[in-house]
Every structure is written in structure tokens, then in C-alpha cells.
Structure 1
């Protein structure tokens, strides 16, 4: 059956006290509304509709890659009003699933359970039982335990307020009936709004079967109204992701102290210490070990590589059995071949480091092509920027570069060459040559040291 999926994202979210739309606040590194759209778009035969209002231009621009039909809800008057504005775009057949841009952790598996029950004469409702149902619409059932209505908190009687089963707001209604129900909605209630929940009573009146589905946990249907709730859902998502990592064979020294803001894929026997952050798409091979306080973003790490504490790796590719850190920074465009070593306080950028090569400490290597088995001494830098353009440094295999060397690009160092410590290299160094480039040293006798005043 074809699916219209409506994501409601028009609310102001004043309790967020923010300069931008509530649904653009992030959970797990992704805007809440984008999380919902991603989940929704995975359903088969999905036609997406995005309802925007407050700062709708921001929301539309951030979600344009989903190719959703954007419908504006200026001066919003409730969830029923939102669906009424989408009604002209709904398909004649099929059903409409209503989701919310500030309910980011809804699972595709739950929505699939709902769609599996959908028929032209069935309305599927997602409900949950809560110990404290305050603030939620109550599910009213008859003597045969059939759902007959949803009553909002402000309109409920004392007996209805005692009901524990509540409405999550997520429902799947057949379009053949939904159009008529939406047209019949009124705003005769305490809020003066058009409630989408009123279609439940209409469905019961019209003999439409009303069936309920329940989520796996409360967090799936939890909405965000303020930053406290946003933080709670962030921790819930991180907990869920930590459980998945450990089930897949990773060791987390403290599952509560890891943040995944994107997608993290791990091989077997991966070890991750505390306070590590993973952004974008990160892939860790088998046997990778990551020390505390590391930050990895959009990178691929090969098997058996060790990343020591306080290291940042960004938009880079690391081979097998490499040794990185501590306090190293691999900037975008860095590629390390197998068995390469990047030591403490080393920064690389757009650098190809060959197999077995070592940049052990206190160095900057940028815009560089480096061969295999190169040894780079402490304090070495590539001077790749002339103030306007970047230039390339090329270092062949088996080169030894002494400490405190400056390689002024563009420059080439041929295979087997040696560069003496303290040199500033501005010209090509040939194969197996020894390059000295130092100012002449002058020694003065009986030099009087400065005296502290």
C-alpha cells in the first residue's frame, strides 16, 4: 500500500529559548527533523510531506535533500489543522502516517509494525502505557476493549485522567476515510485547536477498525520541548548505540562516556577508552585500540592500529598497524600507509605518509608525498604556504631528515638522501646525498652574559 508520511515541524518551541527552529536542534549529531525524515524515507512506497511554520525557511533548507513536499502552516491551530493543509496533496488510495519533527528516536521497526496492519478499513494507533501519563491524551476504550476515542489532558474527566494508556500522536489512517474526517474537524475544545486525535472517535463511529501498536520503549515516542528533554534523549541515544557496539564485539571502558554523532562501524576486538567522540562516518578495523579523549571524524582506521590519548583524526585514512599519538592531529587529506607512525604533537594535512615511515614528534607535515621508511626528526616542518598558494613537498623512500629541518616547498628529496639537523632546504636533494643548509657559526671569546636588572 502506498504511504503518505507527514512530518509535523511547524512549532515555535519557545521553551528552547533558541534563535532557530526547535526541530533543527541536534540529537546524535543530526537535526531531530532529519532523523525523522531518514527513518520515514526508509519505508517502502513513501511519499514525504514536511509541514513547516516558524522559521520554516531554515527547516526547508536543511531538509531539501529529502525531496519532501513542503507545506506551510502559518498561524498553526493544532495537529488537525496541519493535516488539513496537507490533505490536498494526499494520494487517493493508501494511508497517511503522521510523525513529529521533535520526536527523533522513533524506530523504523515500530513504523513497519504499524504499516503491516494497515488496510483500507483500519486505523493504526501507536500507544504506550505510562506510570505518569500527565500531559498526554488518554486512550478511551469500550467494554469490549476497543478504542473509541482519545481525550486530551485539558478536556479529560477525573476518571479519564486515571487512564494509563496514552496517545503518542503517531497514527496511520486510510486516506479513503481520512479526507472526510479532516474536513469534519472542529475546534470546539479548551485549546480552540483542531485536534487530529478527534478522528479516532470518527473512525469508531464509521465502523473502521482501530488497532494499537506499542513501541519498544518510551524514548521512541518522547518529544522535545526544552533543552533538558533534548539532553535526556541525547543520553538515551548514546546508551542505545553503546549497547549495539558492545553486542558487535567492541569493548567500551565506560559505555556512558562515549559520543557517537553519526555512524560508527567497528570490527572485532576494538577497544575504546573514555571520553571519545565520533562524528560523521567512522570505520574502525579489527583490533583497533583508541585511548582516552580522542576525536575521530569521517575517517577509516585499519586493523590493529593504536590511537593514543588526545588525538584528533579528521577526514583521513589510516592503514593497518599504525601508531598515532598521543596529542596528534591528522587533518583532512591525510593518508597513512601500513605501519606508519605519527607521534606526539605532530600535525599532518593533505599528506601521504608511506609504509613504515615515522614522524615521531613536534612536527608539521602538510601538502606532502612521503615514501616508505622515512624518518622525520623532531621539529621538522614543511613550509607549504607562500602567503598565497600551497606547494608540494616530495620525499622519496628511505630518507632521513634531521631534527629542526625546514623543507621549503616546492621541493624534492630523492631516495636515500640525508638532511642534516637544523637545515633549511630550498633546492632538490639528490639520491643518497647529504644536505647541509645552515648559517655559518660564529664563536666569540669572553662573551659577557646579560645581568639581571
Structure 2
């Protein structure tokens, strides 16, 4: 049986009061649409997923281009039924069509699979995923043939409910499976005689029942899976739910998270067992952290990889970097893009790095900027050291070989090579290569004038007394 998945992602989402397309709003570190595509591609290959785009189509396609799904353009957004009509030619070769909403991010692959399997078992023309939320107000209700029956006789919208139907809690989620043949034979029967003048896919239940086709329903195990968001406040609630689910997943794998409600952990983050995450930490994007690490409060780690036994002290910012086992970072270190920190290296207080590789056991503990540099193992970088990597036009690299000692307040003007085992005197400005095992000094000769301070104080006192006499 060949299944296609069609994802509705053409709407504006006007109730959000946002210029951005609704499906591009993010929860849990990914857009709503990315969450839905991820679940869809656990059921069918990406080449069998068709995203219907319309509003801000270019931006939507660009945002999920890496997923390798197909796109169908709905130039005029005339409802969900019209969206499927638009996708008709693209999915013509499939026997069954699963329809998902691009703004329902909590839907799990297991639920889609259960819906698909139930559809096949029931030999249905249409299968509806339903739910029973605590407050069903505003949703269309699913009317079954009988309480114990899988068959559906109608879907009734909120405003059309009779007093008896008001008590029904089972709602239509807007997620369906269709047998392609009856769907496309009858989809042109949809009408626009509704308040918005649109073709609603929901009405296919009525059309199919009238033609004596089998329409059935299966209820989702967790009603929250099928809930979308129509306001930014509701979006925040979904974000909190998905982040808490991520935190619970990590804790079940042996990760200690103090005060998980204060952390911001994206859905794709992976953390090894026995790592401790303190309050107010943010782990974002494709971040991977090894075992037995400790991430202290107020640190933000994004799209980075940390090996095991790494200590990240308070307030560190780490972006698109790699940190090897046993390294110690911070407090308040800033690892920018392309930083590669070696085993047992120390990057300390207010040290900023960018596009560097620093070797095993090397240390930069205080107040330094290290950019566009390759630093060997066993190197000591003194406080206040700067690699001057930019001349206003080009970036140049600094090479510091193994076992070098760089004194405090040193400036290294790239391009430059500091040879193995050499020493750089504190306060130096080094503009030429330093050979191995050498001492390099690049500062003015100190001049000391004995008694100068005493003479200056005497002169100042004499001047003050003369001024008083004149007054």
C-alpha cells in the first residue's frame, strides 16, 4: 500500500497578529512545520511527503528545504478542501493519503501509524483522528453511529450543535486518512456555502457518508497531541509542553536537571548519563553533551558538541564549537563559531575565542581574545593576551606551537608563528616570528628616575603655598 502525506501549510494564521507565516513560528527550537515534517518522515520517506504552501511560500520552502520533501503551491487559499484539490496531481499515484496540519507540532509518529493501521483494518474511505480535550468548545464534534461504533455519521461545527450534541466531548482534529479513489472521485462535491466561502475538507465526511462510503474515527491517546495554537500565548503553552517533554526524556536517560521548568532545552538536544544541568541553562539547536558533564547556571550552548567530563562554569556562551573531554570553561567564557577546545584545556574568566584550535592541557584563564589561531598543547596564555587577527581588510592566523609561555598583556600581531617552548615577556607586542626555545620581548626599555616622585610632591606643595599667599 502506497501512502502519501499531505501537510497543510498555506494559511496565514491571522489570529497570531504576526507578519510571519504561522507554520514558521517556533516551539522547542524548531518551527511548527519542522515538527510535523519530522513526524511525517518517520512514517513515509521524504519523497512521499507533500507540503502545501501558499502564504509566504518562498520563506516556508526555504525554512524546510533541507528536509527534501516536495512542495505544492496553493496560489489562492480557498480552504483545506481546495488545498487537497491543488495537490491532486502530485499524489495521483498513491492509494491512500494522510492529511496533516502544519500547525499541530505535538503529533507523534506513533499516533500517525496507529491512525494509518486503523484505516487499513477498517477498509475505510475516510478515517478521522479525534480527541476528547477537557474543553471542546469551538471545535467540530464527531457524531458516531453509536457510542461503541467506529463509524461516523457526521461532523457538526460548534455553532450548529444541538443542545444534546453540546455534551459530546469528542472533537475533529483535522487529521485524516483517505482512500485516494473515493476521495478524488467525490472531492468536487465540496461546496463553499459557509461563512468563509471556502472548501472544507471536513465536509468530505458528509459527502462520503451520503455516497455510502465507510467513514470511521479513532481517538488519540493524548488530546494534547492534536492541539494547535491560534495565539502567541497558546504558542508559549505548546513550547513549554514540548520542552518539558524533552527534559523528561533526558531525565529518563540518566541526566540530572535541577528545576527543569527554568531550563530551555530544544527538541534535538542529546545529553549523556550522569551529566548535571543546573537551573536557567539553555541548550539549543543540534547540541550534544557527553556523560559526566556539569553545566552551571546561566550558560547558553548552541549547535555545539561537548565530550564527557566537561565542566561549564556559570554564564558561558558556546556557539557552533567542539569541546573535548575534561575541558574546563568559564565562568563567563565566550566560545564563538569554530572554536575547538582540546582535552583538559582551560578557557577561563572572560576569555573569548573564535575559529581557534587549542591543544591538550593548554590554558587561557583570564581576560583574553583568541581569534583565528592554532594553539598547541601545554601552552599558557597569560591574562589580557590578544591575537590581533584583523588588519581592517584581511583576517590572518596566529600559530602557537607546543609548550609556549605567553606572558600577560601580550599582543600577537598575525600572521605570526611562536615557536615550540619559547617565552613571550609580559606586556610585549610581538610582530615577528619567534624561534623555538627563545625569549621574545617587544616593549620599551624601562626608565627609572630615583627621587622623581618626592621632587614632584615638593614642587606641588610649593605651588599651592604660593597660591595661598597671593590670595
Structure with the largest fraction of helix: 2
Q: Report the CA distance between 1:441 and its aligned residue.
A: 2.6
Query: 1:125 matched to which residue of 2?
Result: 128
Q: Report the CA distance between 1:401 and its aligned residue.
A: 1.0
Query: 1:330 matched to which residue of 2?
Result: 335
- Per the normalisation by structure 1, the TM-score is 0.94
Measured in 2, the distance between the counterparts of 1:179 and 1:267 equals: 49
- Per the normalisation by structure 2, the TM-score is 0.91
Query: 1:83 matched to which residue of 2?
Result: 84
Q: Report the CA distance between 1:75 and its aligned residue.
A: 4.2
Measured in 1, the distance between the counterparts of 2:36 and 2:82 equals: 21
1:59 pairs with 2:60 = yes
Measured in 1, the distance between the counterparts of 2:435 and 2:269 equals: 45
Aligned 1:246-265 pairs, distance under 5 A:
246-265=251-270
Measured in 1, the distance between the counterparts of 2:101 and 2:298 equals: 35
Query: 2:114 matched to which residue of 1?
Result: 113
Q: Report the CA distance between 1:155 and its aligned residue.
A: 2.2
Q: Report the CA distance between 1:170 and its aligned residue.
A: 0.3
Query: 2:23 matched to which residue of 1?
Result: 23
Specify which of 352, 358, 362 is matched with residue 353 of structure 1.
Answer: 358
Query: 1:134 matched to which residue of 2?
Result: 137
Aligned 1:191-340 pairs, distance under 5 A:
191-340=196-345
8 A contact 2:263–2:282 mirrored in 1: yes
Aligned 1:352-391 pairs, distance under 5 A:
352-391=357-396
Specify which of 173, 176, 190 is matched with residue 185 of structure 1.
Answer: 190
Which string of whole-angstrom CA distances, capped at 9 and with x for unpartnered residues, describes residues 346-392 of structure 1? Answer: 01111111111110010011111111111111111111111111111
Measured in 2, the distance between the counterparts of 1:371 and 1:188 equals: 74
Measured in 2, the distance between the counterparts of 1:367 and 1:257 equals: 35
Query: 1:447 matched to which residue of 2?
Result: 456
- CA change 1:397–1:66 in 2 (3 A) is closer
Measured in 1, the distance between the counterparts of 2:210 and 2:98 equals: 21
Could you list the runs of 5+ residues in structure 2 that have no partner in the other structure?
465-471
Query: 1:8 matched to which residue of 2?
Result: 8
Q: Report the CA distance between 1:63 and its aligned residue.
A: 3.0
Which string of whole-angstrom CA distances, capped at 9 and with x for unpartnered residues, describes residues 116-150 of structure 1? Answer: 22335453211111232111110101246332111
Which string of whole-angstrom CA distances, capped at 9 and with x for unpartnered residues, describes residues 214-271 of structure 1? Answer: 3342321111211111111000110100000100110001111111235211111010
